[in-house]
């Protein structure tokens, strides 16, 4: 049973509440765990510049589009497309599938972060030379990470079950500013280490000789992932947004906060990394090795307390993001399938937990592989390199070509009450430029992906999209 648009939706309690919740969705492991290691693997400064260009020209526009679609249709990811034009329902389904896939590995890393709160408290920092090995041993252990992942998912369920203004908003409001402050401490400490300037140079001095099509696609994927775009999370959040809120301002605030945290995480990580002679391309373990080492260097109880606060902050940032991922799936099940919130949350979480078990085991070399790639990397590659960007492309095509320009203008300007002088520019970006740009970057990135062995998985992603497009009309 689908709800009618006139059904009153649970609304965000306050203006700041919405901005913090949307920023809570955006700021997460993507900024603090993924951004530094992806930048590290992709050459540093040049990656950062391309990433920033994508954030400004594509990310901002897509986020505004998602908010506008959500608030206009008052529906979640699937319903918003379905209620406008049934042929476009597949974009919503792509979003729900992306929600499942990201939730198939995100809680694994969330669980690591949770575990590190206890590891740091339990004396990890006393033996700085063993920090790197300890991380490798931990994630390849078949049992330990699973337990933490399970606890993480339980926490996630607890927040989502309470509904919109009750759970999500409160968590975001209190803990986001705390995380920001801790990151500043990490950054200041990192920069003060001997040899740290090489890290800042690596991050801010672009070396374009390192750029190829894979780097450009990685930057695009990172922009979408970090801003929670391309899968209807912001459509869903926008559907709960009050009619009088200023969408443009909200978008600008969320995009700037997210970008500030990513850059801050880079500034926190790279100088320390260079000071400790850790390879920039060290990969997914980066935060879990660099940050404890940095606080071990600081020494004593102070070092331990900061490290504790860092991992508490990171866990909460992860939670406010995964809550929105789960919400995309849950609100689909509630709005379109008529399930109760409880059933939807428990049902979806069970499937996600099973996927996470495969993802976690794959890091220890266990479990099935596809084209020689383990579950963790498959879920990550499919979403980060294919579904989110292609989803964002379809969202733009939908808004530009399927919705009326005047409806969009009315929605974004609150019926003419809010001025948005750049409306024409935004509209043309969404209608013409972004679809084209994403298509080119994705095409080149996927072709280039065959050199690194990621190509077959990405092609599989395109095939899955084609299948969803074909069958979604019947669902």
**Residues binding ligand PFF (CB under 6 A):** 25-26, 28-31, 102, 225-226, 228, 231, 233, 321, 324-325
Distance between the two ends of the chain, CA-based, in angstroms? 13
**Closest separation between CB of residue 83 and ligand PFF, Å?**
21
**Closest separation between CB of residue 302 and ligand PFF, Å?**
28
Residue 362 backbone dihedrals phi, psi, to 5 degrees: -65, -25
Which residue's C-beta sits nearest to ligand PFF? 30
**Closest separation between CB of residue 128 and ligand PFF, Å?**
28
**Closest separation between CB of residue 20 and ligand PFF, Å?**
14
Residue whose CB is less far from ligand PFF, 125 or 261: 261
Residue whose CB is less far from ligand PFF, 38 or 293: 38
CB 190 within 8 A of CB 267: yes
The distance from CA 297 to its chain's CA centroid, rounded to whole angstroms, is 31
Long-range contacts of 424-432 (CB under 8 A, 24+ apart): 426/61, 426/64, 427/400, 429/57, 429/58, 429/61, 430/61, 430/62, 430/65, 430/396, 430/399, 430/400, 431/396, 431/399, 431/400, 431/401, 432/400
**Closest separation between CB of residue 207 and ligand PFF, Å?**
26
The two tokens of residue 449 are 């992906």
Residue whose CB is less far from ligand PFF, 321 or 362: 321
Gyration radius from the chain CA atoms: 21
**Closest separation between CB of residue 30 and ligand PFF, Å?**
2
CB 115 within 8 A of CB 155: no
**Closest separation between CB of residue 353 and ligand PFF, Å?**
18
Non-local (6+) Cβ contacts of 286 within 8 A are 33, 36, 37, 40, 269, 273, 278
Please give the Cα distance from 157 to 154 (Å, whole number).
Answer: 5
Cα–Cα separations (whole angstroms), residue 32 to 90, 162, 385, 473: 31, 27, 19, 38
Residue whose CB is less far from ligand PFF, 73 or 324: 324
**Closest separation between CB of residue 256 and ligand PFF, Å?**
15
Exposure class string for 383-400: b at 16+ Cβ within 10 A, else e: bbbbbbbbbbbbbbbbbb
**Closest separation between CB of residue 288 and ligand PFF, Å?**
15
DSSP class per residue in 268-304: HHHHHHHHTT--TT--TTHHHHHHHHHHHHH-HHHHH
Residue whose CB is less far from ligand PFF, 278 or 317: 317
Residue whose CB is less far from ligand PFF, 258 or 455: 258
> DSSP label at 386?
I
In three-state secondary structure terms, 391 is helix
Residue whose CB is less far from ligand PFF, 334 or 388: 388
Residue whose CB is less far from ligand PFF, 216 or 388: 388
**Closest separation between CB of residue 35 and ligand PFF, Å?**
8
Cα–Cα separations (whole angstroms), residue 47 to 36, 41, 53, 241, 392: 11, 9, 10, 34, 20
> What does DSSP say about strands 369-370 and 373-374: parallel, antiparallel, or unpaired?
antiparallel
CB 377 within 8 A of CB 155: no
Residue whose CB is less far from ligand PFF, 31 or 76: 31
**Closest separation between CB of residue 372 and ligand PFF, Å?**
26
Residue whose CB is less far from ligand PFF, 325 or 357: 325
Burial (CB count within 10 angstroms: exposed 0-12, middle 13-18, buried 19+), residue 148: buried
Residue whose CB is less far from ligand PFF, 89 or 324: 324
């Amino acid at each position: 049973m689908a709800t009618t648009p006139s059904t009153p939706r649970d609304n965000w309690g306050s203006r700041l509440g919405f901005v913090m919740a949307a920023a809570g969705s955006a700021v997460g492991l993507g900024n603090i765990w993924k951004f530094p290691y992806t930048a590290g693997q992709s050459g540093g400064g040049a990656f950062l510049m391309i990433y920033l260009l994508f954030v400004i020209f594509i990310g901002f526009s897509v986020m505004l589009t998602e908010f506008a679609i959500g608030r206009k249709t008052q529906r979640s990811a699937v319903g918003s497309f379905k209620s406008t034009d049934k042929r476009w329902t597949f974009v919503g389904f792509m979003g729900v599938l992306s929600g499942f896939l990201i939730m198939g590995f995100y809680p694994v890393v969330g669980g690591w972060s949770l575990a590190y709160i206890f590891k740091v408290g339990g004396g990890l920092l006393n033996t700085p030379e063993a920090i790197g090995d300890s991380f490798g041993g931990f994630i390849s252990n078949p049992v330990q990470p699973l337990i933490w992942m399970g606890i993480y998912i339980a926490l996630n369920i607890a927040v989502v079950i309470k509904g919109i203004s009750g759970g999500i908003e409160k968590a975001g409001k209190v803990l986001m500013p705390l995380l920001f402050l801790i990151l500043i401490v990490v950054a200041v400490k990192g920069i003060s280490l001997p040899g740290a300037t090489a890290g800042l140079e690596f991050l801010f001095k672009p070396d374009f000789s390192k750029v190829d099509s894979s780097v450009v696609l990685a930057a695009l994927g990172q922009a979408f992932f970090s801003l929670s775009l391309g899968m209807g999370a912001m459509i869903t959040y926008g559907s709960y947004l009050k009619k009088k809120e200023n969408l443009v301002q909200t978008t600008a605030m969320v995009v700037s906060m997210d970008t500030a945290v990513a850059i801050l995480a880079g500034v926190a990580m790279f100088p320390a990394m260079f000071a400790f002679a850790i390879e920039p391309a060290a990969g997914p373990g980066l935060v879990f090795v660099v940050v404890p080492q940095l606080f071990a260097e600081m020494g004593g109880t102070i070092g331990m307390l900061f490290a504790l606060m860092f991992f508490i902050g990171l866990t909460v940032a992860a939670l406010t993001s995964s809550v929105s991922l789960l919400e995309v799936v849950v609100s689909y099940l509630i709005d379109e399938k008529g399930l109760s919130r409880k059933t939807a949350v428990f049902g979806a979480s069970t499937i996600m937990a099973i996927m996470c078990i495969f993802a976690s085991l794959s890091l220890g070399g266990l479990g099935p592989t596809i084209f020689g790639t383990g579950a963790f990397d498959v879920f990550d590659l499919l979403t980060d390199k294919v579904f989110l960007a292609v989803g964002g492309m379809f969202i733009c095509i939908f808004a530009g070509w399927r919705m009326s320009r005047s409806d969009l203008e009315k929605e974004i300007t609150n019926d003419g009450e809010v001025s948005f002088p750049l409306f024409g520019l935004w509209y043309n970006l969404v209608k013409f430029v972004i679809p084209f740009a994403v298509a080119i970057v994705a095409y080149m990135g996927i072709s280039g992906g065959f050199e690194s062995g990621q190509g077959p998985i990405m092609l599989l992603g395109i095939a899955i999209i084609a299948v969803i497009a074909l069958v979604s009309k019947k669902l």
